[in-house]
Amino acid sequence: MVYNVTLIPGDGVGPEVSEAAQKTLEATGVKINWDVAYAGAKAQEMYGSTLPPGTIESIKRNKVALKGPVTTPVGSGFRSVNVALRMELDLYACLRPCKTYPGVPTRYQNLDIIVIRENTEDLYAGIEFQRGSPETARLIRLVEETQARILHPDSGISLKVISETGTRKITKFAFNYAREHDRKKVSVIHKANIMKYSDGLFLSVAKEVAKEYPEIEFEDVMIDTLCMRLVRWPEQFDILVLPNLYGDIISELCAGLVGGLGMAPGANIGDTMAIFEATHGSAPKYAGKNKVNPFSLILSGAMMLRHLGEEDAASKIERAIAKVILEGKTVTYDLKPYRDDPTAATTSQVTEAVIEKIKESYYES
């Protein structure tokens, strides 16, 4: 069987880590026909658009994509490519597993937290009103009439939109994930005491959904309390489900708990399509330096293989990475105890070391 997969190399360090992931996935023996497409700054250069229609069509056709990080050019008029992709393809669930691998220098051991972030609503929906525009003035008037509140006329406004439909989808996704992966607890994160009609709705729908899964423990935690508990007792958590903005921030915090952005894979999942990508961005200062950790995207690739039903190949990659980390010889700078360790390996050396371990596993099995 040959899988057709859209490959978006991305910008900055994207092409380096994408190549690493591509080579590693191929080393498992799974046959993939890569349909290369572009997004971000590179696509802007090539096609005059950060998200060309051909890229969207490729993902719609193949249903699965592996994506390197892309740079969103700074300046007005450029919408985040990632947000646009998630909205356009209705990839409503962002799944970010945060797991400690023995040998990674971290403050905590034995963590295995799944962060599930709603991907299409909340303050990220892109409904924004620019300071000084006539639409903003109308909205300010409406707020003043309906809320008995005076706003500064020079305000800019971003809307936080949370729907029952969106919340039901993401919380069901979280509980189904728990059921399918034998997870014990789902924590729903909110600030419902302050934002009664957005976070409050998120919480009340989550509570309803939880009743359909009586075998799974359910708790609700306020976002500020979560931050404190994650730093003190991260082992208390199993699956977190959060609205978009909190999910963005907390998934990066959880990446920090397990060794940093180099160790944080991810997936954006909808009902019919999925894009697998690292949590990190394009790290422009390291572009072309063959220096960054490719594990986030390689592990995202392993998630993709599992999504395609290639459980064996996915496990081979994860075991190979675990071995390379445990040996501690061939790892990038971020996994060394000291930042400027001269023995840090390059992106390509690490990739070769993982491929070597995958090949060795053929002789073992």
Q: How far is CA 304 from CA 267, 269, 277, 353, in A?
A: 8, 11, 9, 21
| Shortest spacing between CB 256 and ligand NAD, in angstroms | 10
Binds ligand NAD (CB under 6 A): choice among 69, 97, 234, 259: 69
Three-state DSSP class for residue 96: strand
The CA distance from 357 to 365, in Å, is: 12
Out of 11, 122, 199, 248, which one is annotated catalytic?
248
Q: Which of 191, 291, 316, 323 is catalytic?
A: 191
Instruction: Tell me which stretch binds ligand NAD (CB under 6 A): 106-114, 144-152, 285-293, 353-361.
Output: 285-293
Q: Of 124, 177, 246, 333, which one is the catalytic site residue?
A: 124
318 binds ligand NAD (CB under 6 A): no
- To ligand NAD, the closest distance from the beta carbon of 252 in angstroms equals 8
Residue 99 and residue 257: Cα distance in Å, rounded?
Answer: 9
Candidates 243, 268, 48, 61; CA nearest to 163 is 243
323 noted as active-site residue: no
Alpha helices in 192-310 (DSSP H): 199-210, 223-232, 244-257, 295-307
Q: Which is nearer to ligand NAD, 261 or 325 (CB)?
A: 261
Q: Can 248 be counted among the known catalytic residues?
A: yes
What is the CB-side half-sphere exposure of residue 229 using CA atoms within 13 A?
14
- Check residue 82 for interaction with ligand NAD (CB under 6 A): yes
Of 63, 64, 67, the residue nearest 17 (C-alpha) = 67
Q: Does 296 bind ligand NAD (CB under 6 A)?
A: yes
Looking up tokens 């599930």 gives 116
Q: Is 283 in the site for ligand NAD (CB under 6 A)?
A: yes
Annotated catalytic residue 35? no
Least distance in angstroms from the C-beta of 332 to ligand NAD: 6
Residues 6+ apart with CB under 8 A from 347: 13, 16, 17, 20, 290, 291, 292, 293, 294, 332
- Cβ of residue 113: shortest distance to ligand NAD, in angstroms? 19
CA angle, 278 as apex, 273 and 15 as ends, to 5°?
100
By the rule CB under 6 A, 24 interacts with ligand NAD: no
Strand partners, 190: 222
Q: Is 6 in the site for ligand NAD (CB under 6 A)?
A: no
Listed ranges 48-56, 267-275, 277-285, 337-345: which one lies at the site for ligand NAD (CB under 6 A) = 277-285
- Which structure tokens are listed for 287? 């572009």
Residue 277 found at the interface with ligand NAD (CB under 6 A): yes
Within 10 Å of residue 146's Cβ, how many Cβ atoms?
Answer: 8
Length of the chain equals 365
Q: Pick one of 282, 300, 330, 351: the residue that binds ligand NAD (CB under 6 A).
A: 282
- Catalytic choice (31, 182, 197, 224): 224
* Of positions 24, 62, 72, 119, contacts ligand NAD by CB under 6 A: 72
- Is 338 considered catalytic here? no
Binding mask 201-240 for ligand NAD (x = CB under 6 A): ----------------------------------------
Token pair 């096609």 is found at 47
Of the pair 176, 290, the CB lying nearest ligand NAD is at 290
Q: Does 331 bind ligand NAD (CB under 6 A)?
A: no
What are the helix and strand counts (H, E) for the chain?
A: 12, 12
Subset of residues 236 to 265 that bind ligand NAD, contact rule: CB under 6 A? 261-262
Cα separation, 250 vs 256, in Å, equals 10
In the complex with ligand NAD, which residue's Cβ is closer, 200 or 256? 256
Strand order across the 64-67 sheet: 31-36, 2-8, 64-67, 274-277, 267-269, 93-99, 112-118, 239-242, 185-190, 217-222
Residue 70 lies near ligand NAD (rule: CB under 6 A): yes
Q: Within 333-362, which residues bind ligand NAD (CB under 6 A)?
A: 334
Known catalytic residues are: 124, 191, 224, 248
For ligand NAD, the binding residues (CB under 6 A) are 69-72, 82, 261-262, 277, 280-285, 292-293, 296, 334
